[in-house]
Structure 1
Amino acid sequence: MKEPMLHVREEPMQEKEGGAADLSRPSLESTLLRIANRYVGEHPPHPFVFRTFQRDGIRGTDSYYFNFDFTERFPEAKDGESVYACAKVWSDRSTTVRLRLNCCCPAVVYINGQPVYRSTSEVEIRKQRADDFEVRLKRGWSHFAVQFTKRASGFGGEFGTVSAKWQYLPFLAPGIERSGQMGWIYTKPLRGTLPELPKEGWSELGSGAEWLPVRRWSEEQLAVGQLHRLYGLQADHYAIGWAKVRLKQKGVADYTLKGSSEGKIRVLVGGKLVYASDTAGVFKVPLQEKYGVHSVVVQSFCGARDWGFRAEVWHGEDRMDWLPGGAAQGMPDAWMFLGPFSSAETPAALREPTLNGLFESAGGPVYWRVDQPETWVRPSLENALFAKWNYPLGVTLYGLLQTGRTLGRVDLIAYARSHIEACSSMAVYTMWDKERYGLPGINHQLSKIDMLDDCGSFGSVLLEAGKEGVLQGAAECAERIADYIAEGQSRLPDGTLYRVFSDSENLWADDLYMSVPFLCRYALLTGKMSYMDDAAKQFLRFKRYLFLPECKLMSHVYDFSYGTATNIPWGRGNGWVLFSLSELLAVLPAEHPDRPELIRFFQTLCKGILQCQGNRGLWHQVLTDPESYEETSCTAMFVYALSRGIRFGWLDFEDAPVEAAIRAWEGLERLAIDRQGNVHGVCRGSWYSFNPDYYKRELLPLLNDTHGIGIVLLAGVEVIRLQEWMQEEKKGGEA
């Protein structure tokens, strides 16, 4: 039975006799702009959200789950008592999430008040045995509650998404008292059930339980200055307070800064010193400032018996409003604090406070905290895609970058760079956050690199974008990635990169893209050509395991558990190989000893793909099976590789490849790209199988999947370059 076509869109353009496309078809350039503009419009450059988090609350683990360690937290709890841990998650749309629970006692998971999972006795009594289950989250807020009941087997467990590196849920505290705060809250042990589970508008007060972590200072702590309770007394040290004030009068007006200090103090408004005193006391300072929001920084030194300050800004009898300095959410008031610093230190935050990274002090790195018990500010990634670090986005941003360069769209270049720099600028912070809190709220793959997917693709575009100017934190990211690929990634005895899982070891065609483009760019950046040599050798080694000589294509995976390749020429798997080989050949020195063999390999693979191009110009999900669906991302990768092969002279341009590349691109425009710039027919992210039906019937295509958007843009860019090159050749012949 023939497999039905699975594309979402219909062909909107009529074809004339002979297959010639209608001349009303939009230009290639306008097609690329539609795709790029739609993507940027749907994923605007929202920054990270900064939220407060209580460090003595529920923390993450190195495995990226939340650790509900109630045996340790409540050693006196009695058998049969329960603790409820609660949080909420926002979703922009209805979506399915895979969750995992590993518990050592009876546990029930509730979502929006309804039980969605109950543990079994097998899970409860077998350590390290986890249950996975799927839930459907509605659009809007979903309130989670997990009830753990103490038994002789233990009290608590670990809970989270199956892969937080890919599907991270930003859990926030429920209830009006902790609005905007990151993390979970939990009850003290209860006998019986909680009268009411949290929901929208719910309050901790009157809930019938005492909730932790503690959110209020004791009366004794409130009796001293805020810096005293945050840092203790530290002679010859200071801390920085940061807030913003909203001035309401038109134009320039007179205001008064009033307050008091427990020690030496300096106050800066908009970076200008407006008040300084070497002694404690009350102050009253006239100000002349423009309408608007102004940054206020206070440098407060530790006094002999106390430490802290108070500040207000007035216009006559009207007190001005304070706003959080870094627009953080979940704040008990407007002030954030940084320190302590020795008197000899002068951090940049004094004049230009920012949330963008750590600050060094003599006692080690420090970051902002607030006037609440054990509460710091942390960044949280709550965008669907912008500022996220993962490998499909590496290709997407590469496509946007090259489209911007080719079409002279500096806004697209700036967008791609801002996405990349959002990640790289916080890379050092992310590792510090992970060490302190277990599970960072940003850079989830970068923070725990344990496979090439986590680093190579995004690292490659990071280096490419760096050609437009320095990106904050990029050098440190690149060095860490290079070290991981060279020293940390699993390799066979001959140096071949491969994957080691808990139950299998295998080699994936995909990993040529996850390694080689980065290795090439890093070699050119640093002059360390050993990385280029490694890139070249990987192709020749992968060929030994994955090449299928009968069809001149590559198998998707070689499984060492079975001692054989899967022998299925998956479309995108072959696309990764040809795409990456073209990246390597474009920069590999002419005199490199492996270059002739690599060019022959490129030519062989091109012959293999040319013989299985579909009759509508596209290639199929399983390349040798025309009954499998036409797949967009592999088609785009083949367009990219063929166009480059012709232009760089690795292929004979008089032969079929020119027509194949143009026909494939025209097929993409007709069948995979609609008038709004949506990209259809992209195979979702994959596992692997020895069964071709897995690729045909389970790995179905998605709309606007990031595995395809960027490579479609890159394919279009290469077709533009190919057409320009062909025109130049023709002019040369006429001359």
Structure 2
Amino acid sequence: MEQIKLFFDEILKNTTPERPPWNKEVTLGSSPKWSYIDGCMTMAMLKMYEATGDQAYLNFLDTFIDHYIDEEGNILGFDIAEHNCDNINEGKVLYPLLKATSKEKYEKALRNLYAQLLEQPRTPNGNFWHKEIYPNQIWLDGLYMVQPFYVQYDILFNQGKNQSDIFRQFQNAYQLMRDPKTGLLYHGVDETKTAFWANSDTGCSQNFWTRSHGWYAMALVDTIEFFDETHQEEKRMLIEQLKELLDTLLNFANPKTMMFYQVTDQGAREGNYLETSGTCAIAYALMKGTRLGYLPEPYFEKGAEILQAVVKHKLMKIDGEYVLKDICLVAGLGGMPGHGSYKVRDGSYEYYISEPIVTNDAKGIAPLVFAYAELIQHKE
């Protein structure tokens, strides 16, 4: 699967901090700023450095992140008042960068991001709101954006005192959002059950979005590894949750390709399609979970098989350049119109299949590279 590395290196060669080609909003004219989208790709740079030992990846990462942070740790475009979980994601790479470079501004930036978590509004059961504009809502996406950052900050600066809070946020989300019939997780839940898209009995949205499952599975494997020896029972329970989730998801893989549909349980229903980003995220969770000893070895082989399918079916070379196709641009619940033809973000099947399908977007490239980095480490 060497073509994944060639693809990634090709993208980095054409990247500047001012114009990251994987960020469609910036390429369409928006001003570059700190974002979860770039956070996905900077994490991919880090994972390639960790897997290969190639200093060029770390140097590129440092140059990219340095552009967005001034000497006082102020972050370009970051607004704490948004209380936006997405804005925390890119902060995850600051931990290894701080260790590697000793730049004081990276520690200041970490503290500025953590300041948001200290005042982040919480649902009645104690989970962070997804955003200020989405009161009392938990989205699966948000656990990926925040919890791996939160646990590392906790270990580095807080002596691990908040790991039980992190554990409870996963447990609460899983209990509230898991469908008892399928075992799948709904994309979002409003604990007050008042959002227009929320089920009046459960507060959950009405469909299963594969990338949100991928976000959540990655959140688990990227958080569990940092739990310390004083929280082993909570760690064990999260590992059980990870295995249960992955076992459930594997039941919904397309049997011919081992890939997953945009709307997870709707198979080849008209408009549904095999979606790249969520598929790659699930592959990564399977592979990393095995490497860390949380899952038996056959789970790694499943992940590698899924990754191979993505390379076969979704990574193409067109006019001499690599193209990763069939990536859902974005999906959400309420708050604003959709980007596609179906304008209400109501969590309906019609909504999820209406969002634009794009190529070479960070949300697909990054988990592809995450999984590839796991493959490299496994072979070693």
TM-score computed with the length of structure 1 as normaliser: 0.45
Which residue number in structure 1 is paired with residue 95 of structure 2? 463
Structure 1: gaps (5+ residues): 1-27, 48-90, 98-166, 169-380, 382-387, 431-442, 725-735
Q: Secondary structure at the match of 2:37?
A: helix
Alpha-carbon distance in structure 1 between the residues aligned to 2:351 and 2:287: 31
Which residue number in structure 2 is paired with residue 623 of structure 1? 264
Q: Cα distance 1:429–1:658, how it changes in 2: closer, same or farther (>3 A)? A: closer
- Equivalent residue runs for 1:361-510 within 5 Å: 388-425=33-70, 428=73, 443-444=76-77, 446-485=78-117, 487-499=118-130, 505-510=136-141
Shift of 1:531: 3.3
Q: Cα distance 1:626–1:427, how it changes in 2: closer, same or farther (>3 A)? A: farther
Shift of 1:426: 5.2
Q: Secondary structure at the match of 1:716?
A: helix
Shift of 1:471: 3.2
Which residue number in structure 2 is paired with residue 700 of structure 1? 356
The alignment status of 1:34 with 2:26, answered yes or no, reads no
Cα contact 1:450–1:489 (8 A) shared by 2: no
Which residue number in structure 2 is paired with residue 347 of structure 1? none
Tell me which structure has the larger Cα radius of gyration: 1
Alpha-carbon distance in structure 1 between the residues aligned to 2:47 and 2:123: 35
Alpha-carbon distance in structure 2 between the residues aligned to 1:650 and 1:393: 29
Amino acid at match of 1:604: E
Alpha-carbon distance in structure 1 between the residues aligned to 2:26 and 2:145: 30
Amino acid at match of 1:610: L
Shift of 1:409: 2.3
Q: Cα distance 1:667–1:699, how it changes in 2: closer, same or farther (>3 A)? A: same
Q: Cα distance 1:525–1:417, how it changes in 2: closer, same or farther (>3 A)? A: same
The alignment status of 1:521 with 2:178, answered yes or no, reads no
Q: Render the CA deviation track for 1:227-269: whole Å, top value 9, x for unaligned.
A: xxxxxxxxxxxxxxxxxxxxxxxxxxxxxxxxxxxxxxxxxxx
- Equivalent residue runs for 1:269-288 within 5 Å: none
Cα contact 2:160–2:228 (8 A) shared by 1: no
Cα contact 1:392–1:706 (8 A) shared by 2: yes
Q: Render the CA deviation track for 1:379-431: whole Å, top value 9, x for unaligned.
A: xx5xxxxxx3100111110101211332232222111111111112356566x
Cα RMSD after superposing both structures: 2.4
Shift of 1:472: 4.5
Cα contact 2:214–2:278 (8 A) shared by 1: yes
Q: Cα distance 1:500–1:399, how it changes in 2: closer, same or farther (>3 A)? A: closer
**Identity across the alignment (%):** 20
2:277 to 633, 652, 665: 633
Q: Cα distance 1:678–1:474, how it changes in 2: closer, same or farther (>3 A)? A: same
Shift of 1:574: 0.5
Alpha-carbon distance in structure 2 between the residues aligned to 1:488 and 1:591: 26
The structure with the greater share of residues assigned to strand is 1
Q: Cα distance 1:620–1:464, how it changes in 2: closer, same or farther (>3 A)? A: farther
Alpha-carbon distance in structure 1 between the residues aligned to 2:378 and 2:216: 21
Shift of 1:573: 0.5
Cα contact 2:217–2:282 (8 A) shared by 1: yes
Which residue number in structure 2 is paired with residue 130 of structure 1? none
Which residue number in structure 1 is paired with residue 377 of structure 2? 721
Cα contact 2:316–2:323 (8 A) shared by 1: yes
Highest RCO, 1 vs 2 (Cα 8 Å, sep ≥ 6): 2
Which residue number in structure 2 is paired with residue 588 of structure 1? 227
Q: Render the CA deviation track for 1:112-138: whole Å, top value 9, x for unaligned.
A: xxxxxxxxxxxxxxxxxxxxxxxxxxx
Which residue number in structure 1 is paired with residue 238 of structure 2? 598
Cα contact 1:45–1:415 (8 A) shared by 2: no
Alpha-carbon distance in structure 2 between the residues aligned to 1:722 and 1:551: 32
Q: Render the CA deviation track for 1:651-706: whole Å, top value 9, x for unaligned.
A: 222x4x2332121111111122223333222111222233112112x123211112
The structure with the greater share of residues assigned to helix is 2
- How many residue pairs get aligned? The number is 347
Shift of 1:591: 4.3
Alpha-carbon distance in structure 2 between the residues aligned to 1:506 and 1:472: 35
Q: Cα distance 1:567–1:597, how it changes in 2: closer, same or farther (>3 A)? A: farther
Alpha-carbon distance in structure 1 between the residues aligned to 2:310 and 2:18: 31
Q: Cα distance 1:719–1:491, how it changes in 2: closer, same or farther (>3 A)? A: same
Q: Render the CA deviation track for 1:282-338: whole Å, top value 9, x for unaligned.
A: xxxxxxxxxxxxxxxxxxxxxxxxxxxxxxxxxxxxxxxxxxxxxxxxxxxxxxxxx
TM-score computed with the length of structure 2 as normaliser: 0.84
Cα contact 2:148–2:222 (8 A) shared by 1: yes
Q: Secondary structure at the match of 1:649?
A: coil
Amino acid at match of 1:684: L
Q: Cα distance 1:691–1:35, how it changes in 2: closer, same or farther (>3 A)? A: same
Which residue number in structure 2 is paired with residue 650 of structure 1? 294
Runs of 4+ in 1 over 4 A off after TM superposition: 426-430, 500-505
Structure 2: gaps (5+ residues): 20-24, 334-345
Alpha-carbon distance in structure 1 between the residues aligned to 2:45 and 2:74: 27
Which residue number in structure 2 is paired with residue 677 of structure 1? 322
